[in-house]
Structure 1
Amino acid sequence: MTVVDAGDGDNDGLHGTVPAQQLAKPALNLTDTDGNPFDLRERTKGKITLMFFGYTHCPDVCPTTMADISAALTEVKPDVRQQIAVVFVTTDPDRDTGPVLSRWLKQFNTTFIGVRGTFDRIRTQAEALGVPLEQPEVQADGSVLVTHGSQVIAFSRDDRIRALYLAGTGVQAYIDDLPKLTAERSGPEAR
């Protein structure tokens, strides 16, 4: 995993890493699991957005991350939960069709949003946010290796990256941070 510009160590009381450069939330311009156009900024407007790039056939980090976020959402107060949007962007669009992606995400939480598109478009979007991504490779045994960054990107209401949650972030860290993130006002003057 690679994190671009992980910040200066001052995490504003959050468990996640606050990056020095708080990049803007992209539109993404991909498609949702029903094949409809998906604009990340529009669909998550006014919400704290947790975004993760991964794939449904992942043996470890992807399902664990989605399960941990789901578990945290069941533990926070309903008013906090309603202010959170979780978006999963597939890094393996050839195998992660809309129905496959939808079915996989629903096992974690029915509110999670799955999006897909061409691999090149997804890689461009991921790398613009500092998430490395390599073309899926078929291995000698027939399995497919998809190498991707494993950070969850948290966007604030002002559509800027607020924090990065690295692989292995525990459920309690999300439980602690989600109320803090939803309590923040929009805009840089709020911090």
Structure 2
Amino acid sequence: MIVLITLVGVCVGIGVAACGVPAEGGNVGELRGWVMDTPILKPDVTLTDTNGEAFDLRTETEGYLTLVFFGYTHCPDICPVHMANLGAVFGDLRPEVRHRTKVVFVTTDPERDTPERLRAWLDNFDREFIGLRGPLEDINAALSAMMLPGVAVIPGEHGSEPLIGHPAAVLAFSPDGLARVRYPFGVRQADWAHDLPLLMRGL
């Protein structure tokens, strides 16, 4: 409802940019994520959840540690790895951390990621993970508000399914609504387990 290497991710074997987010800042203090020079305010955007209900990101996650990741269910590598790592870690978190943390997955492929498909895919990792979708222009607006690159649709070759370029990093919004840390593709489960309690405390 997301690794922190300063690179533009490339989907291995298919030659499509995964739009890895350029990094600034660095590893600071105890945190193993990449601390950004300028915090990002959680944007006031409304999309639709997998139940078909409007979901105001800022309001619905107010006061929670919120991990936001943009991806799609047909993604061959980055998305399932990120979500599997988070799902594995969530099962072992202390209740006081787990119950105050929300993972939000925003699809960058709303045409193929129906509510049913998105829900079923997320349930493979954790049934509490939140799935959001909406018009592509709204998704791109949310990406822009979070200082992330927009969606890039790469047509498939020889009639194959298209590939979707998307940011490879998870943004971690602290309970105060500011994202100070991001986690690019490659972050380990041990890093999440270490950082999530610290992020909950506002470090």
- TM-score exceeds 0.5: yes
1:73 offset after TM fit, Å?
Answer: 1.1
1:4 offset after TM fit, Å?
Answer: 4.6
Conserved in 2, the CA contact under 8 Å of 1:5 and 1:20? Answer: no
Which of 186, 191, 196 in structure 2 is aligned with 1:168?
186
Asked if 1:89 corresponds to 2:106, the answer is: yes
Asked if 1:64 corresponds to 2:81, the answer is: yes
Conserved in 1, the CA contact under 8 Å of 2:38 and 2:180? Answer: no
By relative contact order (CA 8 Å, sep 6+), the higher-ranking structure is 2
- TM-score when scaled to structure 1? 0.91
The residue that corresponds to 1:143 in the other structure is 161
What is the aligned-residue identity percentage? 41
Map 1:73-88 to 2 at 5 A.
Answer: 73-88=90-105
- Structure 1: distance between partners of 2:151 and 2:200: 33
- Structure 1: distance between partners of 2:92 and 2:144: 32
Q: Give the secondary structure class of the aligned counterpart of 1:80.
A: helix
The residue that corresponds to 1:188 in the other structure is none
1:130 offset after TM fit, Å?
Answer: 2.5
Which residue type is aligned with residue 182 of structure 1? M
- Structure 2: distance between partners of 1:12 and 1:48: 19
Conserved in 2, the CA contact under 8 Å of 1:91 and 1:133? Answer: no
Conserved in 1, the CA contact under 8 Å of 2:27 and 2:35? Answer: yes
1:10 offset after TM fit, Å?
Answer: 4.8
- Structure 2: distance between partners of 1:36 and 1:152: 24
Q: Give the secondary structure class of the aligned counterpart of 2:48.
A: strand
Which residue type is aligned with residue 96 of structure 1? D
Which of 9, 17, 20 in structure 1 is aligned with 2:34?
17
Asked if 1:108 corresponds to 2:129, the answer is: no
Q: Give the secondary structure class of the aligned counterpart of 1:18.
A: strand
Q: Give the secondary structure class of the aligned counterpart of 1:143.
A: coil
CA RMSD of aligned residues (A): 1.4
Flag the 1:5–1:138 CA change in 2: closer, same or farther, 3 A.
Answer: closer
Q: Give the secondary structure class of the aligned counterpart of 1:94.
A: coil
- Structure 2: distance between partners of 1:75 and 1:161: 24
Aligned length in residues: 184
Conserved in 2, the CA contact under 8 Å of 1:52 and 1:152? Answer: yes
Q: Give the secondary structure class of the aligned counterpart of 2:91.
A: helix
| Greater per-residue strand proportion | 2
Conserved in 1, the CA contact under 8 Å of 2:31 and 2:195? Answer: yes
Which residue type is aligned with residue 174 of structure 1? W
The one-character-per-residue Cα deviations of 1:112-156 (angstroms, maximum 9, x if unpaired) are 000001111101211321222333233123221101111000001
- Structure 2: distance between partners of 1:134 and 1:79: 35
